A and B are shown apart, each in its own frame.
Chain A
Amino acid sequence: MNLLLRSIDELQLDLDDLLFVSGIGCAAWIPSPHFNADTLHTLHGRAIAFATGAKLFNPRLLTIVVSGDGDLAAIGGNHLIHAARRNLDLKVICANNRIYGMTGGQAAATSPRGTISATTPDGCPDDPFDLCRLVLGAGAGYAARYAVTQPRELQAAIGKTLRMSGFTFIEVLSPCPTQYGRRQGLETAPELLAELREKCLPLEQWRRLPPAARRERIATGEFTREPA
């Protein structure tokens, strides 16, 4: 939230032309009602669809979608890939806490295999989405992933996408100690942050890992459309 505001401030963007669109979830409360700009707090999963209408009708609006992973990628996954395919000029920022936070910690489409959650007591049986590669595959012009433990990189990426046109996607790995951490034996926010710091690896280094080791780590950085 802070980083996004700092980027907007640095670019001296006119707040009158800014529109923040969010879905339903903890992450969806980041812009609304906190930001001093137009905000549209929508339905669960539909933020991108609402944003599509606003942006198409008034292209002057710098339209930024901020929401959770469940919201954007599970219930709203269809809108995400179609907006990417259209390369619509939307700036999507996805706060990925790897869980359904607001509803009490159920497994998400982004929960790593083995995640203990309220609906997967024996561990999540499936692999998660790789959101950056999903949107790139669908046609997005830009996709990047950083953890909140990488504020400088994250802010640079946000600043960059605000100056770009076309569909951009930034995945922000964020801690949810209450719903995610607690169940994985990471009780506190510092523990979760330490886990993120330890797991996250720049893309180039991650690529050099043997395939089996890759699964244990999280690739961060700017993704390109070439196969990883």
Chain B
Amino acid sequence: MSVTETTVSSPLPPGKYYFSGNEALAEGAIAAGCNYYAGYPITPSSEIMERLAARFAGLEGRVFIQMEDELASICSVIGAVWAGAKGMTATSGPGFSLMQEAIGYAALTETPLVLADIQRAGPGTGQATKVASGDLMQAKWGSHGDYQPIALCPWSVQEMYELTITAFNLAETYRVPVFLLGEEAVGHLQERLDIPAANRVARRHYQPGAPPFGHPDPAGVPSMPAFGQGEKLLVTGSTHDEYGFRRTDDPAAHARLVARLNDKILQHRDRIVSTRSYRLEDAEIAIVAYGFTARSAWLAVDELRRAGKKAGLLRLRTIWPFAAAEIAALGSSVRQIFVPVPPADRRPDHLPGNHHPGGTGAVAWPATWKNTCARAPTAPRSVPAAATAS
């Protein structure tokens, strides 16, 4: 990938802060150089836009707008990104549903953007202030057609900050929409946030005159120009060639484009997928968890260890692309794998973990898990450093 990272000093003075997850996410966006935010209020994500509205007002060159709905929010982000912005929006289930058509547009036009979906319990209006991670599948397959989004699952306030920066970096590196799938609990959780003196931030790769929608490498990421640079860009959501000319009747052009859109993510999955292991070295029982649920799982691992059971945790920080290889490897070293999900979600019989190619590890749903998950609020308010380390 031709994207370069530079060290950018933190806009907030480095130090210890006590923030909610949503506030930390907003600060992560600012640190990553986000300079365009458009959104529409929805619980439990609204604190992100409220903080950005206040913070952008005091910073140079950052644009905030409250739009008339979620369709307008994401579309205006895409417009701003093509005008040169680093853009993001945030929402929750109902708004995420509304945004799906534009997500497909962003995937096809290779528009880098970040979308924070602070999940509530669905379907429908559901429960706006309850913990759920039921948008996982929608994040992967929500828009029609074949594309590969990237989705990250922060489990702490610290990760709401750090993974937001990662999300912007991945969006720039692969020119894709990147989702931050937080849950209500991590959005509203208050805990310590360590702001570093500086962060690594990806710089947009632009090579004047290079084709904006094609690459000699069939899994390559093209140069990302902007309006107003004299490129006379043709940006379209229809199938197009490497210069943006519509090719709506040419099956070969379509196959070539869609293959690259998918391969640029799938062939770089090893660089994108991020997991963390906890007490897995000698584990016979593994829990695979992501997001807020991983906090309960982490607690369960310690409890099981105290009871003499060799338990460990594999925590997925990226949910898409899926950590299939990592879970398959786990399957050959442990006896059992458990996949807890929040009580508001469906039983995980349709989770991809049940179909992982490893095949040796049993994916089971112990009846007791529901109870363990329901105890999530008793999880420690701050996650020990040991748990965050790889």
Which A residues form the contact surface with B (CB < 8 A)?
15-17, 19, 21, 32-33, 36-43, 45-46, 49-58, 60-61, 78-79, 82
Contact = CB atoms under 8 A, between A and B. Distances in A.
Contact of A78 (B72, B80, B236): B72
A19 B63 CA distance: 19
B259 to A, nearest CB: 22
Given A38-B233, A39-B234, A51-B79, A17 B228 contact: yes
Contact of B80 (A41, A57, A82): A57
B76 A49 contact: yes
A46 B232 contact: no
Interface of B: 35-36, 38, 63, 65, 67-69, 71-72, 75-85, 87, 101-102, 105, 226-238, 244-246
A49 B235 contact: no
A52 B228 contact: no
A38 B228 contact: yes
B102 A53 contact: no
Contacts of B235: 38-41
Contacts of A51: 79
B327 to A, nearest CB: 36
A43 B101 contact: yes
Given A33-B246, A79-B72, A53 B228 contact: no
Contact of B63 (A15, A43, A57, A61): A57
Nearest to B65: A56
A44 B87 CA distance: 22
Contacts of B84: 57-58
Given A49-B71, A53-B85, A33 B234 contact: yes
Nearest to A35: B232
Q: Which of A52, A57, A58, A79 has the most CB of B within 10 A?
A: A57
B72 A19 contact: no
A53 B36 contact: yes
Given A49-B75, A50-B79, A53-B79, A42 B105 contact: yes
A58 B83 contact: yes
A52 B237 contact: no
Contacts of A61: 83, 227-228
A38 B101 CA distance: 23
18 contacts: A17-B228, A19-B227, A32-B236, A33-B244, A33-B246, A38-B232, A49-B75, A52-B72, A52-B79, A53-B77, A53-B80, A54-B79, A54-B227, A57-B36, A57-B84, A57-B85, A78-B72, A82-B67
Contacts of A53: 36, 38, 75-81, 83, 85, 87
Nearest 8 A-B pairs (CB), nearest first? A53-B79, A53-B76, A53-B80, A50-B79, A49-B75, A41-B236, A49-B72, A54-B79
Contacts of B82: 40, 54
B213 to A, nearest CB: 13
B294 to A, nearest CB: 35
Nearest to B234: A33
A32 B227 CA distance: 14
Contacts of A19: 83, 227-228
A17 B101 CA distance: 29
B67 A52 contact: yes
Nearest to B245: A33
B63 A56 contact: yes
Contacts of B231: 38
